Each structure stands twice: as structure tokens, then as C-alpha cells.
Structure 1
Amino acid sequence: MSADNEIVDDKAHIRHRLDFTDAEWITSTDDPDEPGVEIAFLDGYIGMRNGAEPDGPVLVFTPEEWDAFVAGAKDGEFDEP
């Protein structure tokens, strides 16, 4: 966020160039009946999508953002209360 709390898309300059169509998606589960989160590495960025909706939106992370996300997950930051 910027100083005036406006949300800024810091990946706007690259988002239109990233094409995850043929990316190799890695799934979070081995159960085909329960698709989970999927991630793909492409051109120095990390994409994450809902495996149940593979044609849906893709969240895009920089390597630094991804490292922070993974560290938070390992630390329990996203665990349910």
C-alpha cells in the first residue's frame, strides 16, 4: 500500500506478459477428488491458483513475496483459530 493507503499493483508492469497457460502446475494434494492449491514457477515469478478452478484467476508473487508467504505458513500465520 502507498502512504495514503491506496492499493498499488506492483506487478502491473509484468502481469500482461505472464502466460501461465502452458505452465507446469504443482498441486498441494495427491487426491484427484479434492483439488487443492496449485503453484507454478514462470519467468522468475510464482503463480498460485485454486485447483478446483484451473481457468480462474492466478495470484502472482515475486520470489520475495513467496518466501514471506511460505515463512508465514510454516509459522502458523494462516492457521484457523
Structure 2
Amino acid sequence: LAKAMVELDKVLGAICIAPVILANAKILAGKNATVFPDGSRTLEQHGANYTGAEVEVDGKIITGNGPEAAEAFSRALIQLLS
């Protein structure tokens, strides 16, 4: 489903540990991304540029590093959808 969203050029978001799913699906390769710190190694192993930021936007992909990032994540999502 996530790969289909990217192929259709749709906005895709993942927060907390969920960016690991995108990394495992090879969606984050070559992209700037963030994740809950426990998942940083997985992102890097699959070719993502782990930034450690609260929220990272790369094209139409938004990643957030945890529950505390929910508000900033939502603002980034709204901005991309506007």
C-alpha cells in the first residue's frame, strides 16, 4: 500500500517507529527521514539519510520521530495537502 502511494505521487506519512516499515519497503532509500531513535539504524541500513529531526519532509514523504512530534507532523501534513 505504501509503495502504491509513492507510485501514485501521493502524500505518505509515518511517525514514531512506523518509518521503519517504509525503510523495509525501500521507500526511504536516498531520502531524508527521521524515526524514533530505536529505528535509526534500520533506516540507515536501507539507504535513508537519518536526520534525527523531530519531523522531516522529503518530497511528499513526511516522517516524525515520536508522539511528541505529532503537532509538528500534523502541520507538515496539512502544508503538503494544501
More helix by share: 2
Q: Which has the higher contact order (CA 8 A, sep 6+)?
A: 2
